[in-house]
Amino acid sequence: MSEQPRATLADIAEMAGVSEATVSRVLNDRPGASIITRRAVLTALDVLGYERPVRLRGKSGLVGLVTPELSNPIFPAFAQVMETHLAQHGLTAVLCTQTPGGVGEDEYVELLLDRGVAGIIFVSGMHADATADNGRYRALTERGLPVVFVNGFMAGVDAPFISDDDVAAMDLAVAHLASMGHSRIGLAVGPDRFVPVVRKRAGFIAAMERHLGASREDAESLIVQSLFTVEGGQAAAHHLLAAGVTAIVCGSDLMALGVVRTARQRGLRVPQDVSVVGYDDSPLIAFTDPPLTTVRQAVDAMGAAAVQALMDEVNGTPAPRDEFVFRPELIVRGSTTSAPN
């Protein structure tokens, strides 16, 4: 049986309508070629009657989706939106969920690169940590891998960023509470090494000055930083309620649930004695007791924008190197009311 002749790069390039360099890039499974181009090269290989390299057999279009833990329902919400939009482009999401003590972001990236993913979307990852080194991301962009970042910003990284407007979120929450007579409003938020937290702090201080005439010092004295969890909200609430606030704005819906729990443990009623505003409008939050007033992230629009930006990168038409900021929406429910007399 004669050995199958080896396809030349020129043959494949001519059939696919691309350069020989592009053919080499595809056959060696290196980044830098769009999905459409990759398919054209592999189709040409098939038409010419040559076997695909082993590494490319049965390979499908995969996109890494790296998220924090799924215990916060906002992250599954983002994942679902992005998976749906990726599927519409014929791509499959590989969901990589980080958990304390589990596989970290860098390890997931290595696994995704080994699987030859077409790109990676990072949601609230290390890019949101102002203390993190941006070298990990520059290494990805320098090798030509399309990446998109959601909720967080890191200077020096050549990629699109998609964010919620944290400053506007705080203005919406404080304006709502101030309009109902609250003048002593607290903020329960996460660690300040995270970019969204820095922005929320700044937005809260500005909103307190704008709507209540509070000084920076007074506003800062009513900010407690904890963890973005129910327990973190409980801990923050102890300090804020002891400081005599009548309303608390929270950095996440989970924190808001912790604030409600602590208020009740102290014999206070929500919202009659203390009003509570969450952040995210994560699934099922409308069915809490009381239904939670919250600032809704534009999850659908942000998820769609992230996927579109990634597709632009993958198809060789890079998205603008900027941060796309989406305005949130205040959703008023039963956890806020007029300030107590």
- Which residue do the tokens 């482009």 mark? 89
Mean pLDDT for the chain?
Answer: 91
CATH fold label, 62-164+298-326: Rossmann fold (3.40.50)
- Which residue do the tokens 């983002």 mark? 78
pLDDT (tens digit per residue) in 52-96: 665 554 444 789 999 998 889 999 999 999 999 998 888 889 999
> Residue 6: what pLDDT?
55
Which part of the chain is CATH 1.10.260.40?
A: 9-56
CA–CA distance from 297 to each of 3, 50, 246, 325 (Å)? 59, 50, 25, 11
Average pLDDT (138-146) is: 91
pLDDT (tens digit per residue) in 285-313: 999 999 999 999 999 999 999 999 999 98
Domain range 9-56, its CATH number among 1.10.260.40, 1.10.3720.10, 1.10.10.60, 3.40.50.670: 1.10.260.40
Query: Exposed, middle or buried by CB within 10 Å (0-12, 13-18, 19+), for 3?
Result: exposed
Orientation angle between helical segments 74-88 and 299-314, nearest 10 degrees = 40
Nearest to 170 by CA among 151, 196, 137, 144: 196
CATH fold label, 166-297: Rossmann fold (3.40.50)
> Residue 2: what pLDDT?
43
CA gap 70, 73 in Å, rounded: 6
> Residue 52: what pLDDT?
63
Contact of 65 with 303, CB cutoff 8 Å:
no
| pLDDT: which is higher, 263 or 53 | 263
CA gap 258, 232 in Å, rounded: 7
DSSP string computed for 48-102:
TT-PPPGGGTT---EEEEEES-TTSTHHHHHHHHHHHHHHHTT-EEEEEE--TTS
Return the top range by mean pLDDT from 8-17, 90-99, 249-258, 316-325: 249-258
CB atoms within 10 A of CB 327: 11
pLDDT (tens digit per residue) in 200-210: 999 999 999 99
Q: Is 188 helix (H, G, I), strand (E, B) or coil?
A: strand
Which part of the chain is CATH 3.40.50.2300?
A: 62-164+298-326, 166-297
* Whether pLDDT at 102 is above 50: yes
CA gap 160, 187 in Å, rounded: 30
